[in-house]
Amino acid sequence: MIDKRLMRLPGMNRVLTMLAGLALVQAFVILFQGKFLAQAIVHAWARKPMAGLWPFIWAFAAAFALRQAITWLRNAMAEHAARRTAGDMQQQLLQHLFALGPATVADEGTGNLVTMALDGIPETQNYIELILNKILNMAIIPWVLLIYIAMQHWLAGLMLLLMFPVIILFMIILGYAARDQSEQQYAGFQLMSNHFIDSLRGLKTLQLMGVSKQYADNVYAVSENYRKQTMSVLRIAMLSSFAMDFFATLSIAVVAVFLGIDLLNGKVPLYPAMVSLILAPEYFMPIREFGSDYHATLNGKNALSAILAVLAKPVAQPSQTGLTVGPWTAESTLSVNQLDFRYGDRQAISDVSLTLHGPQKVAIIGASGSGKSTLLNLLGGFLQPEAGTPFTLNGTALPHLAEPAWQAHLSYIPQTPYIFAASIDANVRFYQPTASAAAVTRAVAAAGLADWVAELPDGLATRIGEGGRGISGGQAQRIALARTLLDEKRDVWLFDEPTAHLDIETEAALKETLVPLFANRLVLFATHRLHWLNEMDWVIVVQAGRIVAQGTPTDLAANSAAYQELVHKMRGEFDEVAE
């Protein structure tokens, strides 16, 4: 019943022991609260003097207040432990995401991970608190009360004892029946809320098709349909808490009747009967509270499992060689020998070998899904092959390139470079937060942004990114470029289809800026746009994860059938017209 994984968390055992001790104390306080109440009632019933009633009332009030105080203390202790544990877990999760790198994170889904780190953590905290409070209550309080009730009236005690497994049994049986249905319902709920948001997001499409007005009734009909389904599920799902309530209240009623009959026959005095009746609801209280929070515990458990699964993913360890990488010069080399890479079951890269040396400009071309991006990610160290030492950097054999010394030379510019929600200045300074204002101005000018920035009322302080000023795709590329230029030691540039979203004139303008900057750098450029090949001195043709041709553009154009075929397909009608 107690999640064993929680017990492995640091400090959890100690907290659990202390809380269990407090729960035990509380059980006795509850017992005394009931006892004094029963004594007060018996006293009043016997019509003894009012003066004699006051001690019982005061004692009851004291026990009542003490019980509430212990609840406060227990909540505070449980919350403290849970908050600390969940906070640590959040920290670990983010560190782990960092270590896993962008390629794995994109694979898991950014939205999914953000939700996990933001909603999953409080759910886990809630789960830990529930375990520490509700389950301990159930494990301790009923049994102290039961022993006392049995000592007063063994039949009432036996009756209550027998009811406990019956309640648990019905909870389980109905729980199973409801679970299948509620899983269906959950799926239905997802479908429903997706359907509704779908209708809102697809409004424009509906309007273009001329059906958006009448679709309003479809929204209503689907929602009503869902309501009917939900109600039929709720009828069963709520039976579980109905059964629990039913047996708990009915057994209180039955105990009351038993006690009444024994009193009638003079078998017991009033006090034992009264105290049993008062404590019976307290006996059932913990299990009822647990039942009402059962679904919250399920959510927390799932959230915890999901977080632990991400934390269990292995991360690349930098090699212990103390690798240093100097500036990329004519003598520098990076060779790749028989590189393989799999995404789960899918072979993404097979038997890739290549050598890069000195300031080369290398194009990587291939159809969509051929493995261009994967290859770039492997060269950037964002993905790591499972086995072997396929990389050799300046003579050092390496199992992967997730090496800080190598990555310190890299710049990676994807199709849509990420623009942080910050000022232009902060975005450009990202690699070099301490750069001088003059250096930023130079980088901005070199990236061709000077005129645009000059027109902005706030200049470099203009906020861009989410919630800031909107910028075009070409400007985003140029900001990423300025970011790279500011950090002069970054002399290995990886581009992943940087111009795919740009219109032809914007692309032409960007190209004019870029090409002169390629000098003296190692450039790896994955692209679909063939005019870039004119600027490259090496071309790698990728097909289904393999390199099918590599060489200088002129050499490939003359001699490689694979290259010729790909270029022909990409040109499409341009060739037809030329012919």
Partner 1 sequence: MKWRNEQWLRPDLKRYKGLLFWSLVLGMLTFICAGALMFTSGYLIDFSATQPLFAAIYVPVVLTRAFGIGRPVFQYLERLTSHNWVLRITSHMRRKLYRVLESDAAFVSEHHQTGDVLGMLADDIGHIQNLYLRTIFPTVVAGGLTLIATLLLGWFDWGFALWLCVLLLAQIVLVPAWSLVVDKRRKLQQKQLNQTAYVDLTDSVLGLSDWVITHREADFVAQATAAPHALSQSLHASARFEWVRNFVAQLLFGLIPVSLMVWVGQYWTQTAGMANWVGAFVLVIFPLDMAFSGVAQGIGEWPTYKGAVMRLNQLQPTTRTLPKQLPTPQEFQTLTLDHVSFAYSASAPELIHDTSLTLHRGDKVALLGPSGMGKTTLLQLVLGDLTPTTGQVLVDDTPVLAYQEQRNNLFAVLDQSPFLFNTSVKNNVRLGNEAASDAAVAKAIDAVQLTDLIAQLPQGLDTPVAEAGFDFSGGERQRLALARVLLQDAPIVLLDEPTVGLDPITEAALINTMFTVLADKTVLWVTHHLQGVHRTDRVLFLEAGRLTMDGAPQELAKTDARYRRLYALDAGMKG
Q: What is the DSSP letter of 469?
A: B
Give the tokens for residue 218: 């479809």
Residue with tokens 């038997």: 351
* Region of 554 on the Ramachandran plot (φ > 0 left; ψ -120 to 50 alpha; else beta): alpha
210 touching partner 1, by CB under 8 A: yes
Count of residues interacting with partner 1 (CB under 8 A): 150
Shortest Cβ 196–partner 1 spacing (Å): 6
Cross-strand pairs, 493: 411, 523
Rounded Cα gap, residues 519 and 361, in angstroms: 9
Q: How far is the CB of 456 from partner 1 (least distance, A)?
A: 16
Site string for partner 1, 426-465 (x = CB under 8 A): ----xx---------------------------------x
Q: Which of residues 241-280 bind partner 1 (CB under 8 A)?
A: 242, 245-246, 249-250, 252-254, 256-257, 259-261, 263-266, 269-270, 273-274, 277-278
Q: Please report the beta strands in 303-452, taking only residues with DSSP state E, as ranges in sequence order.
A: 333-343, 346-357, 361-365, 391-393, 396-398, 410-413, 422-423
Q: Is residue 558 a contact point for partner 1 (CB under 8 A)?
A: no
For residue 379, which of 295, 496, 478 has the smallest C-alpha distance?
496
Give the 3-state secondary structure of 96-144: HHHHHHHHHHHHHCHHHHHHHHHHHHHHHHHHHHHHHHHHHHHHHHHHH
Instruction: Give the footprint of partner 1 on residues 343-382 (CB under 8 A).
Output: 367-368, 380, 382
Closer CB to partner 1, residue 9 or residue 233?
233
Q: Select from 150-158, 166-174, 336-344, 405-413 the region that touches partner 1 (CB under 8 A).
A: 405-413
* List 17, 21, 55, 72, residue binding partner 1 (CB under 8 A): 72
Residue numbers 33-62 binding partner 1 by CB under 8 A? 37, 40-41, 44-47, 50, 53, 56-57, 60-61
Q: Which residue of 227, 313, 469, 489 would you call a contact of partner 1, by CB under 8 A?
A: 227
Query: By rule CB under 8 A, what string of x and - marks binding of each residue 502-531 to partner 1?
Result: xxxxxxx-------------------xxxx
Give the up-direction half-sphere exposure of residue 150: CA atoms within 13 A in the CB hemisphere.
12
Residues with Cβ within 8 Å of residue 254, at least 6 apart in sequence:
159
Judged by beta carbon, residue 7 or residue 421, the one nearer partner 1 is 421
CA distance linking residue 415 with residue 496, whole number of Å: 6
Q: Tell me: does residue 230 bind partner 1 (CB under 8 A).
A: yes
DSSP structural state of residue 75: H
Residues 181-200 that bind partner 1 (CB under 8 A): 191, 193-200
Tell me the per-residue interface mask from 147 to 186 with partner 1, x by CB under 8 A, - otherwise.
----------------------------------------
Does residue number 206 form part of the binding site for partner 1 (CB under 8 A)? Answer: yes
Eight-state DSSP code of residue 193:
H
380 phi and psi, to 5 degrees? Answer: -85, -10
What residues between 465 and 504 interact with partner 1 by CB under 8 A? Answer: 465-467, 472-473, 483, 500-504
Binding mask 119-148 for partner 1 (x = CB under 8 A): --xx--------------------------
